Chain A
């Protein structure tokens, strides 16, 4: 898909749980600035919160990078959450509802996928995980 006019990238380094709060607040602010509905603002903040927490819980450190997407037809938010850590061996299992490798409810990834419009996960075991999500604004 063609995407144009990328403006003001925001990035948060994530290592501690305070960074998770900061990342989701920035996501919410960006969603608000782009005119997303209150319900969608909450969904974007929640998705970022879920993904950023995985960095704190399972990896050494990582980043949450977000930027607006604006093209002639649509407005959206593009978020890339990547970490340096053990990675995920079995992505299929991690995406199945009810899967848990540790402290999570097992809802983190599949739940997050449900509340965004696009979801992509890449992992190299021993190196880390990169998850990309996009939420489009309803026209």
Chain B
């Protein structure tokens, strides 16, 4: 389901189909839309009242009130709310409507409005609106109840669109952060004459492995290092391409005249190394940093 709603890059035909599927998932039928449209005149009349109530409600919460800078902003947001409200009861529910809901979802996400604030607000609206509907149709409670149910369906559909946008935006943020993690410069530390320590922390992807190679090899030249301890304790996993890259880097270090020692190999990383045919014999490895340093001392004095 999530896939259908968020598949904005698929081709137009399947998107239209996906959108129709989504509406049927929420069991939104033409009769729901017709029923909700009956509310339009009522909504116009009572819209301002509900919205005013709503803002006094949220402004009584410190967390929510923080979202608003001044009265001017509040009145601007109220205008937006009114439109949102009118669109809800006009129940066009076409693709433009969905696109608009997604856009609003992304504005909310960027503004730091949490799902709790968003859903809570919606619940407040529905509750007020529900009461109004029941009051207006006092003589036909069954019809009123049907109308409220239709309204609920559309509201949930709305919330789903907004939350999908939230999740999508959050995924994007996480992706960006991971990218930044992988672009973190790796420090090359000179421990003493001739000995370098390179602690690698975070995601070690091909991109970062390449820059690690350059930093390590240039570090060897610049510091005239005879040994390098490459500590990957802070690396959770590597794929075989990256494992291969590490081995090539250590071989290149040897060609430059420096011995390298790999320490802090996790179980996953060990498996990746074995998979590409590396064994402990062909390279210097040590369990932890301490043992790595001891091995470096031994190699340097040999």
Note whether A and B contact each other (Cβ less than 8 A): yes
Binding site for B on A (CB under 8 A): 37-39, 138
Question: Chain B: which residue is nearest A139 at the CB level?
Answer: B207
CA distance A38 to B207 in the complex (A): 16
Question: Chain B: which residue is nearest A38 at the CB level?
Answer: B214
What is the predominant secondary structure among interface residues of chain B facing chain A? helix
Residues of B within 8 A of A37 (CB): 214
Interface residues on B, range: under 10
Residues of B within 8 A of A138 (CB): 207, 210
CA distance A37 to B213 in the complex (A): 13
CA distance A39 to B210 in the complex (A): 10
Residue interface bits B239-256, CB-to-A below 8 A is 1, else 0: 000000000000000000
Binding site for A on B (CB under 8 A): 207, 210, 213-214
CA distance A138 to B213 in the complex (A): 15
Residues of A within 8 A of B207 (CB): 138
CA distance A39 to B214 in the complex (A): 8
Residues of B within 8 A of A39 (CB): 210, 213-214
| Distance to closest chain A CB from B276 (angstroms) | 15
| Distance to closest chain B CB from A23 (angstroms) | 24
Residues of A within 8 A of B213 (CB): 39
Question: Chain A: which residue is nearest B252 at the CB level?
Answer: A39
Residues of B within 8 A of A38 (CB): 214
Question: Chain A: which residue is nearest B218 at the CB level?
Answer: A38
Task: Identify the 7 closest CB pairs spanning chains A and B, nearest first.
Answer: A39-B214, A37-B214, A138-B210, A39-B213, A38-B214, A138-B207, A39-B210
CA distance A69 to B299 in the complex (A): 47
5 interchain pairs (CB within 8 A)? A39-B210, A39-B213, A39-B214, A138-B207, A138-B210
Question: Chain A: which residue is nearest B213 at the CB level?
Answer: A39
CA distance A38 to B213 in the complex (A): 12
| Distance to closest chain B CB from A45 (angstroms) | 16
CA distance A138 to B206 in the complex (A): 12
Question: Chain B: which residue is nearest A39 at the CB level?
Answer: B214
CA distance A119 to B214 in the complex (A): 25
| Distance to closest chain A CB from B99 (angstroms) | 28
CA distance A138 to B208 in the complex (A): 12
CA distance A138 to B214 in the complex (A): 14
Question: Chain B: which residue is nearest A138 at the CB level?
Answer: B210
CA distance A37 to B215 in the complex (A): 13
Most buried by B among A37, A38, A39, A138: A39
Residues of A within 8 A of B210 (CB): 39, 138
| Distance to closest chain A CB from B111 (angstroms) | 32
Residues of A within 8 A of B214 (CB): 37-39
| Distance to closest chain B CB from A36 (angstroms) | 13
CA distance A37 to B210 in the complex (A): 11
| Distance to closest chain A CB from B207 (angstroms) | 8
| Distance to closest chain B CB from A121 (angstroms) | 24
Question: Chain A: which residue is nearest B207 at the CB level?
Answer: A138
| Distance to closest chain B CB from A70 (angstroms) | 22
| Distance to closest chain A CB from B20 (angstroms) | 36
CA distance A37 to B211 in the complex (A): 11
Question: Chain A: which residue is nearest B210 at the CB level?
Answer: A138
Question: Chain B: which residue is nearest A37 at the CB level?
Answer: B214
| Distance to closest chain A CB from B244 (angstroms) | 11
